[in-house]
Structure 1
Amino acid sequence: MNFGVIITALLVLLLLGYFIGRKRSVTLSKERSQKLHSLPQYYGYLIAFWSSVPALFILLFWAALESSFITSAIVTQLPMHLQQLSVDEIGLFINEIINLSNSALIVEDEVKRQAVSRYNELIEFSASIKSAVVFILAFVSMFVALSFIKPEMKARNLVERLIRWAMIGCASIAVLTTIGIIFSVIFESIIFFKTVNVFDFLFGTHWSPQEAIREDQIGGSGSFGALPLFVGTLLISFIALVIAVPLGLMSAIYLSEYSSPGFRSFAKPVLEMLAGIPTVVYGFFAALTVAPFIRDLGESLNLSLSSESALAAGIVMGVMIIPFVSSLSDDVISAVPQSMCDGSYAMGATKSETIKQVIIPAALPGIVSGVLLAASRAIGETMIVVMAAGLSANLTFNPLEAVTTVTVQMVTLLTGDQEFDSAKTLAAFALGLGLFLTTLVLNIISLYVVRKYREQYE
């Protein structure tokens, strides 16, 4: 019985446990003429939990350890000369055995044929034992839990406690996942910085991550100066914010303060549709429409412009992130208490003065959060930069020249078959660490602004 079938059976058992527990509580209440402490459904929730969750944990634990145990069992029965192979070579051999077991090919090698046969036997044995253990545990847990049901049992308190622990577990998973990502990037970056000096990486002006395989090889300098990448990232993000912040903020002010309800109900969803367009479509638009237009405009002004430029990528990226600024700003502006506006009107202020002096300052924390969210989105964008700005790591502040960004180079470094112990591949983790620190600084600034103005207007 495969994993999906077992999960489906446990879900059915969960529903069965709910109805059995609910019915059991009502029956006991009538037999003993005793009022239930909680509503019947809480007793059903308890039985449903005990009839499925413990078995589900055993199933997940089994699935996590099954592969390693089967691999160990196969390796111990291999001939001695194969057992003395390195860990990587044994891993490749096991992968070949797994592929052969999933195919209909005839295996001629005797050792591999025996290993495939042994692998299939272990898989079948593990599946049968796993199914038996899971279902026996599920039924035993259900009947044991049913024996504890009593009318005076505080089922609601227990259910709420379980829900609280479930929420804590979900929050912990999110936090631990974030911590795991951070530490994995940091550890790989430390390995990279053992090869490349930190200051050379941060302040170097030449980016050429191609390493020479031989000493006489041409074109493999292995220079890892990331300053052009960070400058290109900030340049394109700045252009995007120059486009998105005024348009998004003005759109939000108009929709929340000036537009009619009918127009708002139509314009707001249409504006938010920009966020749902795939970034590759924006990339095509930038490469086929915006970039040629900028080039032709430059030629009409006797300027020699490249077909790829930071300006084209920044403009299109700014259009893409307008909904992030507009939607969040509209929500926070609409949430400003009407009493503050009425007080401004009572003092003789006009609508525009009320917007400038009351609404915008009161909504500033939310507006700043929306702008920084849009900035983070622009910093992490890849496809638009690839198609409109190019891959040239140029250290320039001229928006009319071709540049590249950190995320584009990360994708380039990790594309194809790579060795994760080379400086070229590890450079992607160092770039990711720099990008993480950049967004962390933006979040710190956002928290500072939010706390400052929230204390002022609360």
Structure 2
Amino acid sequence: MNAGLVLLVVVALAAIGFVIGRSRAISTAGGDARGLHSLPGYYGQTVFLFTAVPALLVMIGWLLFQPLYIDGQISDMISDTDIAEGSSRSLVMSDVRRVASGLNTALEKGIVSETQIASMTTDNTDVRAMLGSAGIALASAVEQNILTVAKEYRQIKGTLGLLMAGVVILIAAAGFLVSVKRIHPDYRARNVSERAIKALLIVASLVAILTTVGIIFSLVFETVRFFGLYPAKDFFFSLTWNPQFSGGSDLGIFPLLWGTLYVSFVALLFAVPIGLMVAIYLSEYASNRVRSIVKPMVEVLAGIPTIVYGLFALITVGPLLRDYFAQPLGLGTSSSSVLTAGLVMGIMLIPFVSSLSDDVINAVPQSMRDGSYGLGATQSETVKQVILPAALPGVVGAILLAASRAIGETMIVVMGAGAAAKLSLNPFEAMTTITVKIVSQLTGDTEFESPETLVAFALGLSLFVITLGLNVLALYIVRKYREQYE
């Protein structure tokens, strides 16, 4: 049974439990809600929570561990002879999953029946054509052993899906019955409901922490595997990036790091002054009418998809810089360049700097302005000598957010700066960044056994360390100046 359908059944049962729990509480009090310890809604909430929460937790755990169990069972069915030269067990498992998914899709579309799938062999059926009609494209014909394993994979997954549905619905029904039976006028439903909700809030607050820990551990684990296959010294100090999936790769991070920092520097050099000046104008000089018009127009830039910015860089900014600056000056002939990506990225970052800086400047107490004016300072002097120093911690935070956004940007760099990993000071040359190479190393039919693929995790961990260092530096600056101006 589909997990979405199971979820719908559990939620529907919990909703019914809320109504029944509320009405039962009133009926046990003789129809007078004043005889209850808690409001009637709390009794319904307890039934809802005890019906839905345990069942959903079991379903989430089941869905997390089910693929691991299935892969463990199916992997034993794949012998070493089934793995072709140049392939790996993980690639064979990917083929098995694709074939099993294609069989399910073909069954749903009515292309084949369950009986035909059970008796299907590569001798009597063009499996590849059938899977193609189901929307599953394979590079080569399906071997008989892969088809057999795929059918077993599909059968195990279907059996476990039905078992999960039965267990989850049974737990939901048990929680429903137990919670309904516990309802009586003296039952402290409010206390139970509030404790349960508090527990849910604690779990929700831990999601961000656990997610961060999971990301770090996954990056560290795969990075350790990479350094077991490729020397760490060459990765950190080599000046060449030349991945070759056939072997003999040179995977130095330095050209990618240089491109990342160069593009980000150009973007911040463009965005920070403009964004800060926009914030100062809107908060200190603009009238309410002008502010109400200009501020939303500036913030619209933050809502434009990055692919649109990439197209703008590719079609407009790149050719403009090439025709009017790079070629006349003899600095390049390509429309893809660091300056192209940096300028367009800077446009994208303007609202990040201006909006946050505007909010920070507006938060500076009016008494500081009045005191400055009382000492005879002009408005511009007040902005320079009082307001900006007092707002500096928040402005640093805005710049940090923009820097993190610039370092992690991908689409604008792909379409504006190109994909060439090189070391150069010429801003009109094409370069690339760490994020672009992470995507390129993980796309396509790649296997996670080669250093050319695992290097993406080492790049990701390096990028994480860089952004963490930026955060630590910004925190130091914020604390230093906050003590000075508070």
Distance 1:98 1:237, change over 3 A: closer
The equivalent residue for 2:50 is 50
Specify the SS of the correspondent of 2:250. strand
1:60 aligned onto 2:60 = yes
Conservation of the 8 A alpha-carbon contact between 2:33 and 2:40:
no
Distance 1:40 1:341, change over 3 A: farther
Which amino acid in the other structure matches residue 9 of structure 1? V
Distance 1:152 1:257, change over 3 A: farther
State the distance in 2 between where 1:195 and 1:108 align. Answer: 40
1:147 aligned onto 2:160 = no
1:262 aligned onto 2:265 = no
The equivalent residue for 1:241 is 268
Query: Which piece of structure 1 moves more, 173-182 or 247-256?
Result: 173-182
TM normalised by structure 1 equals 0.86
Write out per-residue CA displacement over residues 221-280 of structure 1, whole angstroms, 9 at most, x where no aligned residue.
522222121111111111110100011011111112211222212211111111111222
Structure 1 position 157, deviation (Å) = 2.8
**What stretches of structure 1 of length at least 5 have no aligned partner?**
214-220
TM normalised by structure 2 equals 0.82
Specify the SS of the correspondent of 2:432. coil
Structure 1 position 139, deviation (Å) = 2.8
Structure 1 position 165, deviation (Å) = 1.6
Conservation of the 8 A alpha-carbon contact between 1:201 and 1:225:
yes
Structure 1 position 66, deviation (Å) = 4.9
- Pick from 350, 362, 371 the counterpart of residue 334 of structure 1: 362
Distance 1:119 1:239, change over 3 A: closer
Distance 1:83 1:147, change over 3 A: farther
Write out per-residue CA displacement over residues 275-315 of structure 1, whole angstroms, 9 at most, x where no aligned residue.
11122222222222222222223368543423232112111
State the distance in 2 between where 1:259 and 1:175 align. Answer: 41
**What stretches of structure 2 of length at least 5 have no aligned partner?**
84-88, 124-143
Distance 1:29 1:360, change over 3 A: farther
Structure 1 position 331, deviation (Å) = 1.3
Which amino acid in the other structure matches residue 229 of structure 2? T
- Pick from 289, 294, 316 the counterpart of residue 344 of structure 2: 316
Conservation of the 8 A alpha-carbon contact between 1:306 and 1:402:
no
Structure 1 position 388, deviation (Å) = 2.1
**Cα RMSD after superposing both structures:** 3.2
Distance 1:64 1:342, change over 3 A: same
Distance 1:124 1:92, change over 3 A: closer
1:399 aligned onto 2:427 = yes
Query: Which piece of structure 1 moves more, 290-299 or 402-411?
Result: 290-299
1:292 aligned onto 2:319 = yes
- Pick from 388, 395, 416 the counterpart of residue 360 of structure 1: 388
- Pick from 189, 206, 212 the counterpart of residue 223 of structure 2: 189
The equivalent residue for 1:230 is 257
Distance 1:157 1:241, change over 3 A: same
Instruction: For 1:198-217, list aligned pairs within 5 A.
Output: 198-210=232-244, 212-213=246-247
Write out per-residue CA displacement over residues 308-339 of structure 1, whole angstroms, 9 at most, x where no aligned residue.
32112111111111111011111111222223
1:274 aligned onto 2:308 = no
Write out per-residue CA displacement over residues 135-187 of structure 1, whole angstroms, 9 at most, x where no aligned residue.
33323322321232343433333322222221221222221221121122122
Conservation of the 8 A alpha-carbon contact between 2:96 and 2:149:
no
State the distance in 2 between where 1:199 and 1:286 align. Answer: 36
Structure 1 position 128, deviation (Å) = 5.1
Structure 1 position 376, deviation (Å) = 0.8
State the distance in 2 between where 1:252 and 1:296 align. Answer: 33
Conservation of the 8 A alpha-carbon contact between 2:96 and 2:150:
no
Distance 1:436 1:33, change over 3 A: closer
The equivalent residue for 1:345 is 373
Conservation of the 8 A alpha-carbon contact between 1:17 and 1:44:
yes
State the distance in 2 between where 1:133 and 1:200 align. Answer: 52
Specify the SS of the correspondent of 2:463. helix
Query: Which piece of structure 1 moves more, 200-209 or 53-62?
Result: 53-62
State the distance in 1 between where 2:453 and 2:42 align. Answer: 54
State the distance in 1 between where 2:200 and 2:208 align. Answer: 13
The equivalent residue for 1:217 is none
Structure 1 position 126, deviation (Å) = 4.9
Conservation of the 8 A alpha-carbon contact between 2:263 and 2:339:
yes
Which amino acid in the other structure matches residue 121 of structure 2? E
Write out per-residue CA displacement over residues 394-414 of structure 1, whole angstroms, 9 at most, x where no aligned residue.
212232322221112222222
Specify the SS of the correspondent of 1:27. helix
Instruction: For 1:129-144, list aligned pairs within 5 A.
Output: 129-144=163-178
Distance 1:323 1:222, change over 3 A: same
Distance 1:223 1:116, change over 3 A: closer
Structure 1 position 369, deviation (Å) = 0.9
Structure 1 position 73, deviation (Å) = 7.6
The equivalent residue for 1:15 is 15
State the distance in 2 between where 1:398 and 1:7 align. Answer: 56
Write out per-residue CA displacement over residues 200-231 of structure 1, whole angstroms, 9 at most, x where no aligned residue.
22222122122545xxxxxxx52222212111
Report the count of equivalent residues: 448
State the distance in 2 between where 1:296 and 1:84 align. Answer: 58
Specify the SS of the correspondent of 1:202. helix
Query: Which piece of structure 1 moves more, 61-70 or 252-261?
Result: 61-70
State the distance in 2 between where 1:46 and 1:292 align. Answer: 64
The equivalent residue for 1:28 is 28
State the distance in 2 between where 1:451 and 1:189 align. Answer: 34
Conservation of the 8 A alpha-carbon contact between 1:189 and 1:426:
yes
